[in-house]
Chain A
């Protein structure tokens, strides 16, 4: 039941946030913050303790809850929490807080409805991370879409109609493909056993013919890659990120993109290990293309939000790379990268949004020399830019390093190419800093620096970045049982060439990595 609490707290708080609008403008904001903090506390309470690091998913859940829902189709309200979901839920709450903070001054009309939608979307995302019945998973997967769409279409910038269309159509198309694959799996279960089931554990045990597995894996992959996003499904992202209000962009980049990565880890890898393995070169190729292509485009952007958006695609490429490399080290890196990217992009979009709010433009050519005007904003921008370019000591570095290191054995040439992405990251991140905060001041208006509250929040995020960069063990050891299980699931497939040597190598490396930054 406690798991339902995690989902229901934000969802039930949502209508109250809407109604609180009548009291005052800040009441919905406080309600949103309160609900998120309570949610975060519940998650941490569930996750602390001895057994927290034992849960590996796949039957060994930390907390599990199951109620029959639609017996006709073998659908149940089945939730399960393990290390991976715990990390992502805590991240969701954190990013939610950042988004609320970022909207504190930006959103001035229909405040209640805004926060109502934010809470609904976050509730849906938490549901995605907890659901282990595939129908329920899809239910939440779609549930978060409508509030996000409303956030963009009501509070977005000039091109919001176009952007929201693109966002909805792309994600929905991906989702429908995913739905067909889920239904097909359930019906295959019916053929095998006589009754349909959408339960994760049941579907894991299903033996699929090679061709069927290939098609289903592809459908799952498309559904998740659209959200991630990876080329060629990424075109919705820059428009959407740029046109959405800052709070929504932070949620989109920080959390929604992670649901795609989560889907890859939770469903695609363990369910179709052989088909995954066959597809590895193509998927990793897509990852590398994503990293390099988005990085090149990021360098060419003049719009600060689009720059961050492209950098985000580039970082998500690493996740695809790591997920398909399939070694424990790389998978650990994926989890780290999800957390790190959630925090750093959240921070960067907050900075970009703050600049846009102050100067009514996203063009970097109209900025410049702002270090003198807004020192707090500039410092924070520098911290997150460094995180984004993978400076050692920051969480992003750990994530990207682990991914590259862990995947080298699988595809050396691709990894060499991918590491160029980190060089490019330095170019566009520092370029962004130079064009906005250094150089000659273009706009001489005097503007307010970050307010104390927002500055505090950003400092917290930056501190977390650095803490995780110096002591990544918190995340790595929590996720380790799940990732271990994943590697075993992949290794259990007969065509996997060298499972033993690699998992030995990676577990050795993980322990050494965990203790020394």
Chain B
């Protein structure tokens, strides 16, 4: 029995172990390339343990964690995204950092944040929930400020720290209230009240709302989105990518489990709250994105809107909702990796390339890079052949299935609005090359052939994911349906 527990936990244990080894390796000898490769391998090996862990799933390991296919699917997503981000980070750090400043801890922090993410996907108890939440948040905070000699990253780090503290405070207070009312710390224990009584006390509801607000803060749903654009803009681009993908995916995994096991969506009050959040997020994100001149800010606002779409899917309730949400999040991660990945790679050639004008006529000077960005933008806009279309299709289908006509209508109207700014950037890529703009300056940093290979591989991988999911999503759908049935089964199992 104990062995089975270890098998089920193997991904978390492996990554934790490797994080420790990485720390020791850094203490032993600093070497950028070696540590980066090691971090990459850690993720790869952890990824390799997933099928093994699946043989033991679904399995509750102590009362804190539960490893089921839902958790494993999200782990796969998180680890894959982390690998892509590590691959993209290497060049970026080489350019942005001086050798003697010590860049190696960056990878350690990334592994720790990912570790936190893995814990979140399996959390089924307040303690594990909070530990994962904090591990992810604190690691990210130091990562955002990692370029410590610059002004913007520091500013962003302080903002993120404040946000993190606020979110944690709300979350803790909410958890305390829930515990006070229900006397339980497991998600199911908290939800049991709802299943028995059908009417809940105001304190319980208040606690629940505080917890949800804590999650919404981290997910950046409007009106809790104020930090998103500043942090996205200020953070080093690979970390921005990380916040947009790994951190959000882990939180969505948690939110799905929390929502199913507690059964929050059955409460009309919470459903209304979520509808409101969804509409406000979509509208705020899209309207504010319209006027942005900075690519990272533009993508930041668009991410707010995208999580509004995710909420529409979530609100549908039941298996179709979980399926749609998971699909959308996976797709969103792929296209964010694509879009931010291009910004990272392009910024790795000297100064940060954040302004829209920097991308003027990129298609004529750097066709592959521009094509990658164009593909990601089309996917974000939800045009067929790209994964984004199937994602949007899923969100609409979930909404229509549940008869949420107004939300679906809001989603459509917002998609049209969002087209405007995606197209604006898209059009810039194909514009005439500005005469004053100098071509990308010749490489000041010598780049070994191996590096550009990682760039090509990682972006190529992301592009193929976007295209394959857009044309042949069936295998992934199959996988997600498995995971969703697992999630619901666990939720229905015992009181």
Contacts and interface: CB of A to CB of B under 8 A. Distances in A.
Interface of A: 69-73, 138-139, 142-143, 145-146, 149-150, 153-154, 161, 164-165, 168-169, 172-173, 176-177, 179-180, 183-184, 186-187, 190
Contact of B427 (A73, A164, A183): A164
A495 B435 CA distance: 66
Interface string B383-405: 11100010001001100110000
A146 B383 contact: yes
B393 A179 contact: yes
B384 A187 contact: no
Contacts of A70: 473-474, 477
B382 to A, nearest CB: 8
Contacts of A190: 401
A161 B415 CA distance: 20
A143 B385 CA distance: 7
A180 B393 CA distance: 9
Contacts of A149: 423
B244 to A, nearest CB: 24
Contact of B474 (A69, A138, A145): A69
Residue from B420, B423, B472, B481 having most chain A Cβ neighbours under 10 A: B423
Given A179-B393, A187-B397, A165 B420 contact: yes
Interface in B353-403: 378, 383-385, 389, 393, 396-397, 400-401
B419 interface: yes
Contact of A143 (B384, B416, B427): B384
Contacts of B397: 73, 183, 186-187
28 contacts: A69-B472, A69-B474, A70-B473, A70-B474, A72-B478, A138-B384, A139-B385, A139-B389, A142-B383, A142-B384, A143-B384, A143-B385, A146-B378, A149-B423, A150-B430, A153-B427, A154-B430, A161-B427, A164-B423, A164-B427, A168-B419, A172-B416, A172-B419, A173-B416, A176-B412, A180-B400, A180-B408, A190-B401
B30 to A, nearest CB: 46
Interface residues of B, number: 25
A168 to B, nearest CB: 6
Interface in B409-434: 412, 415-416, 419-420, 423, 427, 430
A165 to B, nearest CB: 6
A169 B416 contact: yes
B476 to A, nearest CB: 10
Contacts of A186: 397
B416 A176 contact: yes
Interface string B121-162: 000000000000000000000000000000000000000000
A177 B400 contact: no
A187 B420 CA distance: 30
Nearest to A160: B427
A149 B412 CA distance: 20
A168 B423 contact: yes
B430 A72 contact: no
B406 to A, nearest CB: 12
Nearest to A176: B412
Nearest to B367: A113
B410 to A, nearest CB: 12
Contacts of B385: 139, 143
B57 to A, nearest CB: 22
B477 A169 contact: no
B393 A183 contact: yes
Given A72-B474, A168-B419, A183 B430 contact: no
Nearest to A191: B401
B28 to A, nearest CB: 50
Contacts of A139: 384-385, 389
Contacts of B419: 168-169, 172
B91 to A, nearest CB: 29
Contacts of A168: 419, 423
Contacts of A154: 430
Contacts of B473: 70
Contact of A72 (B378, B412, B415, B477): B477
Q: Which 10 A-B pairs have the closest CB atoms?
A: A142-B384, A176-B412, A173-B416, A72-B477, A139-B384, A183-B397, A70-B474, A184-B400, A183-B400, A187-B401
A146 B400 CA distance: 27
Contacts of A183: 393, 396-397, 400
B203 to A, nearest CB: 39
Contacts of B400: 180, 183-184, 187
Contacts of A71: 474
Contacts of B393: 179, 183
Nearest to A149: B423
A490 to B, nearest CB: 27
A271 B104 CA distance: 63
Contacts of A165: 420, 423
Nearest to A177: B412
Contacts of A153: 427, 430
Contacts of A184: 400
Contacts of B396: 179-180, 183
A162 to B, nearest CB: 11
Contacts of A179: 393, 396
Given A142-B384, A180-B408, 4 more contacts: A161-B427, A172-B415, A173-B412, A179-B396
B384 to A, nearest CB: 4
B156 to A, nearest CB: 33
A72 B484 CA distance: 14
Nearest to A181: B400
A180 B412 CA distance: 9
Contacts of B423: 149, 164-165, 168-169
A78 to B, nearest CB: 16
A370 B102 CA distance: 75
A168 B420 CA distance: 9
A176 B478 contact: no
B383 A145 contact: yes
Interface string B452-495: 00000000000000000000111001100100000000000000
